[in-house]
Amino acid sequence: MILNNKDYQKHKRIVITQNAVRLCRAFLILGVLVLSIITVYNFDLKVDDHSFMENNKPVDTSAGPQCEGLSFQDTAICLNDFVREIFIYNITEDDVVLSLDDLKLRGGDCKDWTTFYESYMQYYGYDQTQRVKIFVEDEGDYSIYHVFLITSHSSGYCHMDMTDLQCYQYSNDDGEVRE
């Protein structure tokens, strides 16, 4: 079949439109795929881990660590010393919220101890904290992650991980430590 010029131009526009639709569809599928991968690997869509702090703010520290009035690094050391005295590692479901008494009696896992550190550092006025969640292993129906806390202050920062504590102070080129 031979097309006249008008029909040929119409056919050409249809082919261009079809190709543009195919290209848009490919980009859309690619975009959805990338967003899905980012969501699966970077976001924890479970209940907020900060529920301990909201429900159990440590206002009475008589049963807990006595770290009032200390510097940033000394507060981190005080909390770590307290945890070392009561530390029990016990895997806990992530939706279970443990109180300080629960931690003392039955212990907790990395999430529970991170929540303890975060809530107490914030209670003592050091609220620049960041939870770090890293992938450990895929167990088929569920994945295993490790959680720890990085807390910072104008004088330095600390890596708080269950009974492990590493603090670093900021210093200038002359070795003077920032207060």
pLDDT tens for residues 138-168? 887 878 899 999 999 999 999 999 999 999 9
From the number of C-beta atoms within 10 Å of its C-beta (0-12, 13-18, 19+), residue 169 rates as: middle
Note whether 87 and 107 are within 8 A (CB): yes
> Residues 1-37: pLDDT tens digits?
677 888 888 888 999 999 999 999 999 999 999 888 8
Note whether 117 and 151 are within 8 A (CB): yes
Which helix (H) or strand (E) element contains residue 134? strand 128-138
Q: For residue 74, which phi and psi values (nearest 5 degrees)?
A: -65, -30
Q: Which residue has the higher pLDDT, 82 or 43?
A: 82
Beta-carbon contacts of 73 under 8 Å, excluding residues fewer than 6 positions away, are 155, 156, 158, 167, 169
- State residue 49's pLDDT score: 46
* Residue 148, token pair as written in the block: 């720890």
> Residues 52-68: pLDDT tens digits?
444 444 444 667 888 88
pLDDT score of 100 more than 70? yes
- State residue 1's pLDDT score: 64
- State residue 179's pLDDT score: 67
Round the average pLDDT of the chain to a whole number and report it: 84
- Predicted TM-score (pTM) of the model is 0.65
> Residues 40-50: pLDDT tens digits?
776 554 444 44
Distance CA 149, CA 28 (A): 37
Averaged over 121-134, what is the pLDDT?
92
Pairing state of beta strands 156-161 and 164-169? antiparallel
User: Helix axis angle, 72-86 relative to 110-123, nearest 10°?
Assistant: 140
Beta-carbon contacts of 134 under 8 Å, excluding residues fewer than 6 positions away, are 145, 146, 147
Distance CA 123, CA 21 (A): 56
